[in-house]
Structure 1
């Protein structure tokens, strides 16, 4: 099997907005999304809640291959020591080339760099590939909300995962 170059991770830039918004639409799936499939008009990718500084992107061969968004789980000052992965996507053509793993590791490193003591995330129970990746990177299941979402006609668990930094 040919060896692929490692993805390059960098902080997103405002000019990445359109490409990230497109990637978000192309990777939408009921496997991980609890929101309806995106329809025009499409909003910008960046917002007041998720700025370029809170987004890391993976590049493979000079092309944007994925992203991870970091945020705070709540707006409370008493919760500022925790960062949360609030979005992760990898382009179809980049899957299996280490971009997802590199993005999760970069998010962990960035959360630690920003002074966080913990990092958390939420993942749908039926998203076994994502759950396996997170577990391989040290995340453990910390709670489950059974049948929390109705996705594609089926009730799906909301799984909370986290790890100390």
Structure 2
């Protein structure tokens, strides 16, 4: 099985990443409604190419991870937060999510972070298992934070030192 190639996103990736984001939308991880045309741009003022790492298999983009700051406060600038992760259905089980998760931790360290955090929905067992296997621990739970498809779902806060 080929090893995912991880690289920094470029402006030219925007359309591909937007399509991947829409194609992988699921109530398992999304709290926003399913995107509908006309689609919003993938890159925004807040998140551009420098905030994304991209995974490729055989030259095809099959995943991305978004790294941001949890708050705009200077006193919190030593922490980075994973604010998006998507893997194409056809690439699941190929180590893409794990490769992205490891690469983003290296990138956060390179940018001077001491901690990395994320939020994951309580019912997303596959993602929680991946994060736990990479050293993330549950640091907080917001019980029944979201009402998704008629079910109340916890928001799980996870983090780790770098």
State which of 37, 40, 47 in structure 1 corresponds to 2:37. 40
User: Residues of 1 paired with 2:155 and 2:2: CA distance?
Assistant: 34
For structure 2, the 5+ residue unaligned runs are none
SS across alignment from 1:17 = helix
After the TM superposition, which parts of structure 1 deviate over 6 Å for at least 4 consecutive aligned residues? none
Question: What is the aligned partner in structure 1 of residue 71 from structure 2?
Answer: 74
SS at match of 1:18: helix
* Secondary structure, counterpart of 1:157 in structure 2: strand
Q: Deviations over 1:95-135 (max 9, x none)?
A: 00000000000111000010000000000000000000000
Give 1:63 shift: 0.1
Matches within 5 A, 1:1-165: 4-165=1-162
Q: CA deviation at 1:48?
A: 1.1
In structure 2, distance between residues paired with 1:153 and 1:49: 31
TM-score, normalised to structure 2, is 0.99
Query: Aligned equivalents of 1:99 and 1:49: distance in 2?
Result: 25
User: What do you get for the CA RMSD once the two structures are aligned?
Assistant: 0.4
- How far does residue 157 in structure 1 lie from its aligned partner after superposition? 0.1
What 5-or-longer segments of structure 1 have no aligned partner? none
- Length-normalised TM-score, structure 1: 0.98
- Report the count of equivalent residues: 162
C-alpha separation in 2, matches of 1:122 and 1:50: 17
